[in-house]
Structure 1
Amino acid sequence: MKNHATKAPVRHNVLSWPVDLFTKDSLLAFLAERIASDEKTIIANLNLHALYCLQKSPTMASLFRRRNTLVHIDGMPIVWLLKLQGVAATADNRLTYLDWAMEALAMSGKNGWKVGYIGSTPDICRAGIAHFVSKVPNLDIKGWDGYFDMDDQTANSKLNWLLEGVNSFGPDLLIIGMGMPRQEAFLEQYSHRLKYKVAICSGAFVEYFTGGQVMPPRLIGKIGLEWFYRLICDPKRYARRYLVEPVVLLYLIARTCWQPPRGR
């Protein structure tokens, strides 16, 4: 039987940043294809928080511009912005890691893919790994916490210990869960020193499986209200992201688009 290549996702731009139209099924198929092909690939995500961070972090911006970086939609406002451009995006194109991460791990167990995780506190990292092993048959997963100095490249640094540990394990799928823009900056700086086939920037998704955060009902994400649920459950953590950042983002966009003409 011949293997047919998965159709490449359609790429668009939101405020000059690339975004690829995936559904859950097409994203999982793409993931499997890239792991099978040994082509090093990064999967990032775009939402309003990402748009804000991209304005502030040149390193994150560089990662998004890479040829081998694919970017899926992770927020209904991105779907709405695409619709304003005449793009036929729907709620099915909006994918958070809570919607597809467990299926990706199940595929890993079934296909014998090694999974590496970098992120969270040491306790949450250990609890997350234990949870996934208990839920996913045959899952080969190893984790490293995300608390290290990314600039300390001395021989005995925790950073070098982590890089050596990841490379010794040799994950097919590497999940980076350190939050934006740190996780993207880490991949941009150290991807060339890491052995993996597909790397995913996942944010704090592990915390939802370990009790660190309350799991939002999946239905409300499709109507654009998952942010409100998170804000109500953890206002201290999310007030700035959901109440301040959108306003600052609008200002930054307006300043970029409507700069006054320079004097002669």
Structure 2
Amino acid sequence: MKVDVLGVPFDNTTRKDALRQLLNFLTEDHNHLLITPNPEIVMEAQEDEELMKILNEAELVVPDGIGVVLASKFEKNSIKERVPGCDLMFDLFEVMKDMEKSVYILGGAPGVAEKAKRRMGEKYRNLNIIGVHHGYFNEQEEEKIINEIKQLKPDLLMVGLGCPRQEKWIYKNKHKLPVKVSAGIGGTIDIMAGTAKRAPIIFQKMGLEWLHRLLAQPTRIRRIIKLPLFLLTVLKNKINRK
């Protein structure tokens, strides 16, 4: 079941069910797109037709932001729970480490993907990360990356290039890449590498990771302020539909 939030169709799923869906994707012979939008991405899609099209065509769209869950309360069927992309990837690693499945990591600053590979290999023994590449590449390097992915044929391709670049990159190349799941995962690579830290568990459980990030980086205020604007836009949209 889908829940529409400002034109973005979110899967009304739980973290456990989303994991189950990804595992099903890994058994199929075509490339499935996973996107984890937060309110900022939903707002960006209001002005970006290409991004909105991609969000509507993705096979799995989960809410990586408490604001999306709150906004869904204005709909008949509200979203069951927040599904952070980072947690979902770690859940998937936990299962994949005992499967004959492979991972390719694309994104982050030079050296970050390599560090992420090393740390994840230590945390999830036997997880098969068969390739990595940083996200600072030009068109010529892009062709080499695509050829490498074609040669390696990973089951899971993690792309962290920032929104909307990562979503558009995956969509543009989706039918070229012989992978089972392409995941747009934003800053998850930095968390995997340890170059960025998640909020304490208490903040995560209360849906206040955004507040922790703001306290750690006050310069993020321009991004955080989009959350109340997002909720106001949802409320206005609800009123206009009456």
Fold match by TM threshold 0.5? yes
Matches within 5 A, 1:137-152: 137-141=125-129, 142-149=131-138, 152=139
User: Which secondary structure does the structure 2 equivalent of 1:65 belong to?
Assistant: helix
User: Which secondary structure does the structure 1 equivalent of 2:92 belong to?
Assistant: helix
Is the Cα–Cα contact under 8 Å of residues 5 and 234 in structure 2 kept in the other structure? no
Aligned length: 239
Q: Give 4+ residue runs of structure 1 displaced > 6 Å after superposition.
A: 250-259
CA distance in 1 between counterparts of 2:235 and 2:19 reads: 36
Structure-2 change in CA distance of 1:134 and 1:28 (3 Å): same
Matches within 5 A, 1:109-120: 109-120=97-108
- Normalised by the length of structure 2, the TM-score is 0.89
- Normalised by the length of structure 1, the TM-score is 0.82
Matches within 5 A, 1:121-160: 121-141=109-129, 142-149=131-138, 152=139, 157-160=140-143
CA distance in 2 between counterparts of 1:252 and 1:233 reads: 27
Structure-2 change in CA distance of 1:53 and 1:209 (3 Å): same
Q: CA deviation at 1:250?
A: 6.9
User: Which secondary structure does the structure 2 equivalent of 1:193 belong to?
Assistant: coil
Query: What is the RMSD of the two structures over their aligned residues, measured on CA atoms?
Result: 2.3
Q: Residue in 1 aligned with 2:147? A: 164
Q: CA deviation at 1:35?
A: 0.8
Q: Does 1:183 align with 2:173?
A: no
Is the Cα–Cα contact under 8 Å of residues 53 and 180 in structure 1 kept in the other structure? no
Q: Which amino acid aligns with 2:132?
A: G
Q: CA deviation at 1:28?
A: 1.0
Q: Which amino acid aligns with 2:5?
A: V
Q: Residue in 1 aligned with 2:67? A: 77
Q: Residue in 2 aligned with 1:218? A: 201
CA distance in 1 between counterparts of 2:68 and 2:234 reads: 15
Uncovered stretches (5+) of structure 2, i.e. residues with no partner: none
Q: CA deviation at 1:258?
A: 9.9
User: Which secondary structure does the structure 2 equivalent of 1:111 belong to?
Assistant: coil
- Bigger relative CO (Cα 8 Å, ≥ 6 apart): 2
Q: Residue in 1 aligned with 2:76? A: 86
Counterpart selection for 1:234 from 210, 217, 221: 217
Q: Which amino acid aligns with 1:132?
A: M
Counterpart selection for 1:15 from 6, 21, 26: 6
CA distance in 1 between counterparts of 2:97 and 2:32 reads: 20
Q: CA deviation at 1:252?
A: 7.3
CA distance in 1 between counterparts of 2:74 and 2:237 reads: 19
Structure-2 change in CA distance of 1:248 and 1:89 (3 Å): closer
Q: Does 1:56 align with 2:47?
A: yes
Uncovered stretches (5+) of structure 1, i.e. residues with no partner: 1-9, 260-264
Percent sequence identity over aligned pairs: 23
CA distance in 2 between counterparts of 1:88 and 1:252 reads: 17
Q: Deviations over 1:192-219 (max 9, x none)?
A: 2212111111101121233322221233
